[in-house]
Amino acid sequence: MPYERDGIRRMAGYTPGEQPDDPRAIKLNTNENPYPPPEPVLAALQAISSERLRRYPPPTSSELREAIAALHGVNASNVVTTNGGDELLRLAITTFVDPGKPIGIADPGYSLYPVLAAVNGSPVVRVPLDGAWQPPADFANCMNQAGVNLTLLVNPHAPSGTLLDAETIAAVAQALDGVLLVDEAYVDFADPERNHDVVSLTHEQDNLLILRTFSKGYSLAGLRLGYGIGDRGLIEPIATKTRDSYSVDAIAEQLGLAALAHRAHAAQTWEAVRGERARLAATLHGLGLECAPSQSNFLLARVPDTLGGGARALYQALKARAIFVRHFDQPRLHDRLRITVGTPPENEALLDALHELCAWGQI
């Protein structure tokens, strides 16, 4: 006899990218930073004492919140730390959306959003992005008409990597009746000359909540550490009511502080990724695999039908060679592959395999 809720029994769970067991596999399917964190972060891990592990961590991550606030030019009261960015998504839904009420997303987007909505018993209002992966002019109006109180928007967009400018984000936030959560998981990889800054908008927009994470830019995906930035009216109920007790552990707090103290090292990895992203996109273009303009650490490449069995066949052919990329079998994405930017040797192995597969007609 099943004991789970009816809604949980009917829903499908989140499908993460494959985690190959073979350490020799080239893993370009889950958007991790291909470079390791700096030695001082590893030293901070080794310095964790047994006494620190015996005790509960600081309940509000006050020292880490102060460091994050200083980085972004906000007050610590405008910051909440979370167990990865995904926890902030769940907390935003719990805090701002009554069970059964709708949640808005741009379609396509991060595939976890509909899963979290289903857990809350919330229908999903999907507004299709245009051909350039941009929200339509009536995006906010569609959400307002549907009674949406929380809209989730990933920027740079996943899976295309397209970046919306701050002016567009501000216009959407101003027009929405509810909360706008902008998921900036990949923003560290944006070109610095874009001068992209959405966090400063939180001083003016009291309905704007920004998600950031240490997983991507700081090479700490295995740690599970994220944070939210927003008006105190958004942050306080999350931090004091709906956030789990001690959800950020003592290890995560210390390593987060070390990562921020050595942010210059992380910035070097972002620059390296940007360089490889440009090289990879240009070479894929030469192979006939067109990529959307990306400001993230991945590319969304369209595989034309003329290449054998198309995107899924190419995904399978690469997997047979222990090269893992991501294929989404869903509308608008079935003919595309999302490829994480790896190290130069990893990218070379991918490109060598693609050259051979195209030349031999095996895809």
Note the pLDDT tens digit of each residue in 47-82: 999 999 999 999 999 999 999 999 999 999 999 999
Residue 43 has pLDDT above 80, yes or no: yes
Tally of structural domains, the chain: 2
Same domain? 139 vs 232: yes
pLDDT recorded at residue 360: 55
Residue 18 and residue 29 in contact, taking contact as beta carbons nearer than 8 Å: yes
Instruction: Take residue 8 and report the two structure tokens written for it.
Output: 């949980």
Same domain? 218 vs 101: yes
pLDDT recorded at residue 309: 75
Instruction: Take residue 17 and report the two structure tokens written for it.
Output: 């990218």
Is the model's pTM score more than 0.85?
Answer: yes
Buried b or exposed e, range 19-54, using 16+ CB within 10 angstroms: eeeeeebbbbbbbbbbbebbeebeebeeeeeeeeee
Question: 242, 263, 284 — which closes off a domain?
Answer: 263
- Point out the least confidently predicted range of 109-113, 145-149, 302-306, 333-337: 302-306
Same domain? 253 vs 272: no
pLDDT recorded at residue 308: 63
Residue 1 belongs to some domain of the structure: no
Instruction: List, in sequence order, every residue forming a beta bridge with 27; answer none if it has no partner.
Output: 324
Residue 235 and residue 68 in contact, taking contact as beta carbons nearer than 8 Å: no
Residue 168 has pLDDT above 90, yes or no: yes
Domain CATH for 307: 3.90.1150.10
Note the pLDDT tens digit of each residue in 185-235: 999 999 999 999 999 999 999 999 999 999 999 999 999 999 999 999 999
Same domain? 178 vs 249: yes
pLDDT recorded at residue 289: 94
Average pLDDT over residues 85-92: 98
Note the pLDDT tens digit of each residue in 175-186: 999 999 999 999
Residue 28 belongs to some domain of the structure: yes
Specify the higher pLDDT residue, 11 or 157: 157
Question: 247, 263, 279 — which closes off a domain?
Answer: 263
Same domain? 92 vs 205: yes
Residue 363 has pLDDT above 70, yes or no: no
Q: 320: how many CB neighbours lie within 10 A of its CB?
A: 11
Domain CATH for 177: 3.40.640.10
Residue 198: name the closest of 228, 235, 159 by CA: 228
Residue 72 belongs to some domain of the structure: yes
The set of long-range contacts for 325-333, using a CB threshold of 8 Å and a minimum separation of 24, is: 325/28, 325/29, 325/350, 326/17, 326/29, 326/30, 326/159, 328/108, 328/111, 328/159, 330/108, 331/108, 332/108, 333/108, 333/159, 333/300
| Domain ranges, residue 327 | 6-36+264-360
E strands present in the chain: 26-27, 79-82, 103-107, 124-128, 150-154, 179-183, 208-213, 226-230, 290-291, 298-302, 323-324, 326-327, 336-340
pLDDT recorded at residue 361: 55
pLDDT recorded at residue 306: 75
Same domain? 138 vs 276: no
Same domain? 30 vs 116: no
Residue 18 belongs to some domain of the structure: yes
